[in-house]
Amino acid sequence: MLRVVLREAGRLALGLLGAVLLAAAIAALAMPGAASGALAFLIAWGKTLNAFLHLDFGASAMTGVSALDEFAAHMPLTLGLVAEGFVVALAVGIPVGFLFSNGPARSAASPVVQVVSAAPIFVAGLALAFIAVNGLGWPVPVNGMKSGLKLIPANAAEFHAVLLPVLTIGLAGAAATQLALRRAAALAADAPYRVQMRRMGLSAWEIERAYAAPQAFAGLLGNLGEVMAALLSAAAVAEWVFNFAGAADLFVRSVALRDWAVVAPVILTFAALTMMASFIGRIAARALNGAGAYA
């Protein structure tokens, strides 16, 4: 187990190093003269890396304030939406994943699940907004007006406001969750130990409960990084569709306006969150299923 932890820690360290180098390269684009040639860019890149060591990410071209302060002001909203969306993803994705992982339901629902999973998440966001406005009469921010969002609603209006982006993010995470579970369940369904367990007198239910289910959950944990990436990607869509100014929306606007100093800390944090989720998930998968494919 220690060897696995050290190996995954080394992989995490290399991934974080790559993320820092990428973020520094992006932030270097904001320096004057960085685009004048390869040598000028390398010099700007080196200066940016040195600034990163001192936690200096530069200033936003849009507001003039520190890029780190700009990022810190928007990140809590995104983290809250992703956390609540993660709960929805597990609540929806795990039952759906197990329901469509075996038996006749697997073959019947496979085309539908593939089509739904492949649909762009902004389609789900727009559909939820349409239903909320035209079907339920809920207010949805429009015309680009940004407004605050309380992650712990105190009344019906605040609940309606937070529900739509959380559902959008949660549905994206649920798609990734059920896909990971179905892939792991498919591997468990063809595992050779099933025949041996039946010969030992174990029932199909006992095999599923004691062996197949842990292997399926280990598969989900092993793909936790993919789930986190889906949640963060959906956060950008949800914040844009429902007009809430989180870090994901800040990232999209900063890329559009070429505010590279702000893009850098956002992409670095998102990459770090994804890699940390993958690290924790793979270690947990190894602990849950030592002989699994995610060791």
pLDDT value at residue 86 = 93
Average pLDDT, the chain: 78
**What is the rounded CA–CA span in Å between residue 37 and residue 235?**
35
Q: Does residue 287 carry a pLDDT above 90?
A: no
Helix-strand-coil percent breakdown of the chain, rounded to 5? 75, 0, 20
Determine how many CB atoms are found less than 10 A away from the CB of residue 249.
23
Q: Which CATH superfamily is domain 2-288 in?
A: MetI-like (1.10.3720.10)
Whether the CB-CB separation of 204 and 43 falls below 8 Å is answered with no
**What is the rounded CA–CA span in Å between residue 46 and residue 48?**
5
**What is the rounded CA–CA span in Å between residue 191 and residue 171?**
30
Q: Does residue 267 carry a pLDDT above 80?
A: yes
**109-141 pLDDT, tens digit each:** 556 556 655 666 766 666 777 777 677 766 665
3-state DSSP call for residue 194?
helix
Q: Does residue 49 carry a pLDDT above 90?
A: no
The amino acid at residue 233 is: S
pLDDT value at residue 127 = 74
Domain locations in the chain as residue ranges = 2-288
Residues 6+ apart with CB under 8 A from 270: 232, 251
- pTM for this model (two decimals): 0.78
Q: What is the DSSP letter of 154?
A: S
CB half-sphere exposure, 252, CA atoms < 13 A: 16
Whether the CB-CB separation of 239 and 81 falls below 8 Å is answered with yes
